[in-house]
Amino acid sequence: MPAVGTTALPSRRLHSVVTLSFALQISQVTLAAVGLLAAVGLLGFYVGFVALLGYWVHRDATAHGVGSTPWILLSLLVPFGVVFYIYQRRQWSRQQPRTDGVRLVETILLAATGGFAVGVFVAPPDPITQLLSMLLVTAALVPVAYLLYYRDGVATLREAL
């Protein structure tokens, strides 16, 4: 018999309340896991991009015959450091030819930059959507960057125009 002032819930209703509560807890855990996965994915995208950028600056500065450590630090730690490096490197003569590995890294960096720009400026502020759009656009831009950069498609376009 229920205590005075309380009402007893029928067992079916109590079961549905418990089931709903359990389902809400599972959905909260699922959302937290998806959010964590999105945060780790965004962090991985960023860390991979920074690692490729540092590798490219090192290889490029070495190929131009200048010390790579200050340029890596400048490119990675100073805002617009990469822009200054790219501007400055135009004044140096290349002492070693580009290798296929460096051209591949440059192609991937170009595609990832496009993916990052689209993900940040076009996708909604939801981190999961941004991660998916960055990865999908980067994957879609790899063939475009390959044709334009690795296969020297820019020169072909200039000749055609």
Kindly report, residue by residue over 120-133, the tens digit of the pLDDT: 888 888 777 877 88
For residue 70, being part of any structural domain is answered with: yes
Per-residue pLDDT, 21: 56
Helix 11-63 to helix 100-121 angle, to the nearest 10 degrees? 140
For residue 61, being part of any structural domain is answered with: yes
d(CA 51, CA 48): 5
For residue 47, being part of any structural domain is answered with: yes
Residue 94 backbone class (left: φ over 0; alpha: ψ -120 to 50; beta: rest): beta
For residue 9, being part of any structural domain is answered with: no
152: pLDDT strictly greater than 60: yes
Kindly report, residue by residue over 29-68, the tens digit of the pLDDT: 676 777 777 778 778 888 988 999 999 999 999 999 898 8
Q: Are 145 and 107 in contact (CB under 8 A)?
A: yes
pTM for the full predicted model: 0.68
Residues in contact with 66: Cβ distance below 8 Å, sequence separation at least 6, in sequence order:
92
Residue 118 or residue 11, greater confidence: 118
Q: Are 38 and 127 in contact (CB under 8 A)?
A: yes
How many CA atoms within 13 Å lie on the side-chain side of 84? Answer: 12
Mean pLDDT, rounded, for 134-144: 89
7: pLDDT strictly greater than 60: no
Per-residue pLDDT, 106: 87
For residue 23, being part of any structural domain is answered with: no
For residue 24, being part of any structural domain is answered with: no
Per-residue pLDDT, 51: 92
* Number of domains making up the chain: 1
For residue 22, being part of any structural domain is answered with: no
d(CA 61, CA 42): 28
Q: Are 85 and 75 in contact (CB under 8 A)?
A: yes
153: pLDDT strictly greater than 60: yes
| 3-state SS class at 7 | coil
Give me the domain span that covers residue 63: 42-160
For residue 5, being part of any structural domain is answered with: no
d(CA 57, CA 52): 9
